[in-house]
């Protein structure tokens, strides 16, 4: 499972970085989104990978904490997803405005010669 | 007293409440909006000053004050921490915000929707970033600040603003991702995000995990260096700051200082006295990065034609000086750097506002502004607009006042006597020459280079400012005297006046920054304030 996750994060990051360096605004948005998926998976993996372990303690009170997954990274991922979502939406709006004002979808607002 | 503790949360809650309330007020009711916004910012300044006195209250005691939100005991929940450094940053922010807001009241706040709400949310994010004692909350408050700054940068619209806004947003989104990677790596190794707890645990990290921890800290640092504008991560800064509306540019000056603040805080807390043989990690990178920034910004200042670009590069100069000073990492230098931080923030902010007034007479952008105002305002406002301009008190002798202010700002940026820029640079340089680092009696090579570059950058700033000043105020035979209202000039004069005051009462301020710097170099006091405090509380 570690290998699968590592490859997934690597592929997402690689494609994301490549897309961020492309000149079109659409590629920029997709690139940043891919990067943020990679980062979210990465944060999640920092809580160590566990199969079938719940992050929330049951109602029966104190149990052995070692039986549970670390809940903190999962909470962090939630926050990061929400914030990433909002800022990406904002970026999309700015991209549309830029497209409208400059008539070009190049990140500099004009084609490079 | 117990209620005083709750004041710690006010710099976050007050702007949040004000900003939210402002959303409910209709866009056409300018006076009401402006009144709420001004009142909230004024209250913020008062609270910040009270907090400053509280932080300074216990004399030589280096302990910080902490406030456990929702009263959970310390390492497990959100804490806010107040010490001299954060209090100083809060006061600086509040003064700057008040000046920028007053400046915006004549017309900028009407150039687009929700100016006041965005402004208050920006203040909320800044207050949170300065007070938080937790890495992840730092991320959240950073994002709040940035989200508000995206809106403010685009305020007033126009294709230049949108284009540089696009770059600004893209770069900051990428930097935020680095921030997250750094935070999660640090969590993965140490299992905590509380800064005080982290400072304790970092010394106990096993040798195998050290590399991961340092990688995390390095990536985290890069995220802040992007904000602080270190070369080569700061190339986005001059165009973005130049494109911003004048009051927005003025308040953005503090955003670069947030990056510097966090670097100062984290490098001294995490890699200070408690971290064992990892102490001083990253200092060399900060020092040389700061020097590269200084060199780059110095040539940028000399090459700038437009005043806005000149102001953008002078922000970079101050960032570079601060980063190099943080990298030197000795108590006296950091104390001088804090003084310099306040002084250069005020000077650069005043410069951003002054530029708009000077360029008003010949600015083609003025027409553009009128167009966007038409697009956003309604008819009632349009008919009101010319009347407003007539009612406002016009500044007498506008050109003379502008010229003198420009001269003062040039002195401040160049660091010449008699203004506070000189005191600040002198304090930094003096710290380098007879600090504790000179135990072996020899001044390190780095210090000589820092000194040379700091002085050279001052010279370059002076040359560039003189050139611009002569071209603007002396050369033209038929000058169009810009119409300047008193309320627009007042914030600039206030900021310059504060720099004068900082010169006269320099001793008091230096004593304060000395104490702040000493506290920063003793992370045990900070840790004690956060962890010790709450353990007692939990026992009760």
pLDDT mean values, one per 10 residues, chain B (540 residues): 76 90 83 87 90 74 71 77 89 92 81 84 92 88 90 80 86 91 90 85 82 89 89 84 85 90 87 73 84 89 84 90 85 88 91 83 50 47 42 66 85 83 86 64 75 88 86 66 77 88 86 84 80 52
CA distance B112 to chain A (A): 15
Number of domains chain A is built from: 1
In this structure, is residue A58 part of a structural domain?
Answer: no
Inter-chain touch B170–A91, beta carbons under 8 Å: yes
Query: From CA B507, how far away is CA A112, in angstroms rounded?
Result: 55
A23 touches chain B (CB under 8 A): no
Contact B395, B404 (CB under 8 A): no
In this structure, is residue A22 part of a structural domain?
Answer: yes
In this structure, is residue A38 part of a structural domain?
Answer: yes
In this structure, is residue A109 part of a structural domain?
Answer: no
Burial of A5 (0-12, 13-18, 19+ CB in 10 A): middle
In this structure, is residue A27 part of a structural domain?
Answer: yes
Inter-chain touch A87–B140, beta carbons under 8 Å: no
Which residue in B355, B365, B366 sits closest to B402, CA to CA?
Answer: B355
Task: Strands of B53-138 (E only): list them.
Answer: 65-68, 79-82
What residue numbers bound the domain in which A95 lies? 2-49+69-102
CATH at A37:
1.10.287
Q: What confidence tens digit (pLDDT) does each residue in A58-109 have?
A: 777 667 777 778 888 888 899 889 988 888 888 898 888 888 888 888 877 7
Q: Parallel, antiparallel, or unpaired for β B65-68 and B79-82?
A: antiparallel
Q: What is the pTM of this model?
A: 0.88
A49 touches chain B (CB under 8 A): no
* 3 state DSSP class of A24: strand
Q: Please give the average per-residue pLDDT across A4-33, as a whole number.
A: 92
In this structure, is residue A12 part of a structural domain?
Answer: yes
In this structure, is residue A56 part of a structural domain?
Answer: no
Query: From CA B349, how far away is CA A82, in angstroms rounded?
Result: 33
Inter-chain touch B187–A98, beta carbons under 8 Å: no
Joined tokens for residue B459: 């010279």
- Give the residues across from B67 on adjacent strands: B80
In this structure, is residue A111 part of a structural domain?
Answer: no
Tell me the ipTM for this assembly.
0.92
Contact B359, B307 (CB under 8 A): yes
| pLDDT on residue B425 | 87
Mutate to test the interface with A, among B139, B148, B152, B162 (most CBs of A within 10 A): B162
Task: Strands of B319-463 (E only): list them.
Answer: none
């Amino acid at each position: 499972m570690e290998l699968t996750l590592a490859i997934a994060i690597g592929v997402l990051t690689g494609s994301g970085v490549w897309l961020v360096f492309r000149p079109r605004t659409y590629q920029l948005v997709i690139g940043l989104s891919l990067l943020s998926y990679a980062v979210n998976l990465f944060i999640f993996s920092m809580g160590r990978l566990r199969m079938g372990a719940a992050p929330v303690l049951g109602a029966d009170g104190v149990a052995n904490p070692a039986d549970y997954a670390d809940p903190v990274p999962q909470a962090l991922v939630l926050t990061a997803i929400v914030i990433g979502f909002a800022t990406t939406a904002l970026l999309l709006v700015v991209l549309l405005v830029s497209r409208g004002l400059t008539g070009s979808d190049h990140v500099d607002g004009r084609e490079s010669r | 007293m117990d209620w005083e503790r709750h004041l710690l949360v006010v710099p976050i809650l007050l702007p949040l409440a004000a900003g939210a309330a402002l959303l409910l007020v209709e866009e056409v009711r300018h006076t009401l909006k402006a009144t709420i916004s001004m009142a909230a910012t004024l209250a913020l300044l008062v609270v910040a000053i009270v907090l400053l006195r509280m932080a300074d209250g216990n004399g030589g005691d280096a302990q910080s004050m902490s406030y456990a939100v929702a009263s959970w005991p310390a390492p497990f929940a959100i804490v806010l921490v107040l010490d001299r450094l954060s209090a100083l940053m809060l006061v600086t922010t509040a003064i700057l915000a008040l000046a920028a807001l007053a400046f915006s009241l004549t017309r900028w706040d009407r150039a687009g929707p929700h100016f006041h709400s965005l402004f208050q949310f920006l203040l909320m994010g800044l207050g949170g970033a300065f007070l938080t004692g937790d890495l992840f909350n730092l991320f959240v408050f950073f994002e709040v600040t940035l989200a508000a700054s995206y809106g403010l940068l685009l305020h007033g619209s126009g294709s230049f603003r949108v284009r540089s806004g696009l770059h600004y947003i893209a770069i900051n989104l990428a930097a935020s991702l680095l921030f997250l990677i750094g935070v999660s790596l640090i969590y993965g190794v140490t299992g905590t995000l509380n800064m005080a707890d982290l400072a304790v645990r970092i010394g106990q990290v096993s040798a195998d995990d050290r590399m991961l921890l340092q990688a995390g800290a390095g990536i985290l640092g890069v995220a802040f260096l992007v904000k602080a504008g270190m070369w080569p991560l700061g190339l986005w800064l001059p165009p973005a700051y130049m494109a911003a509306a004048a009051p927005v540019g003025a308040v953005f000056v503090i955003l670069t200082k947030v990056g510097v603040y966090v670097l100062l805080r984290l490098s001294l807390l995490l890699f200070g006295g408690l971290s064992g043989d990892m102490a001083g990690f990253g200092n060399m990178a900060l020092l040389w990065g700061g020097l590269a920034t200084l060199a780059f910004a110095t040539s940028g200042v000399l090459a700038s034609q437009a005043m806005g670009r000149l102001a953008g590069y002078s922000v970079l100069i101050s960032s570079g000086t601060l980063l190099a000073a943080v990298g030197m990492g000795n108590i006296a230098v950091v104390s001088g750097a804090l003084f310099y931080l306040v002084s250069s923030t005020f000077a650069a902010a005043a410069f951003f506002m002054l530029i708009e007034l000077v360029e008003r007479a010949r600015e083609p952008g003025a027409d553009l502004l009128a167009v966007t105002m038409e697009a956003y305002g309604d008819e009632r406002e349009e008919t009101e607009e010319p009347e407003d301009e007539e009612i406002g008190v016009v500044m007498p002798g506008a050109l003379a006042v502008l010229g003198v202010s420009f001269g003062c700002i040039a002195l401040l940026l160049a660091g010449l006597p008699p203004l506070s820029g000189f005191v600040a640079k002198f304090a930094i340089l003096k710290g380098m020459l007879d600090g504790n680092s000179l135990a072996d009696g020899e001044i390190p090579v780095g210090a000589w280079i820092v000194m040379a570059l700091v002085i050279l950058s001052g010279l370059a700033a002076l040359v560039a400012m003189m050139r611009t000043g002569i071209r603007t105020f002396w050369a033209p035979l038929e000058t169009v005297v810009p119409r300047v209202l008193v309320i627009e000039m007042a914030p600039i004069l206030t900021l310059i006046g504060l720099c004068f005051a900082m010169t006269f009462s320099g001793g008091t301020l230096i004593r304060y920054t000395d104490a702040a710097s000493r506290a920063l170099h003793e992370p045990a006091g900070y840790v004690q304030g956060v962890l010790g405090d709450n353990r007692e509380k939990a026992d009760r």
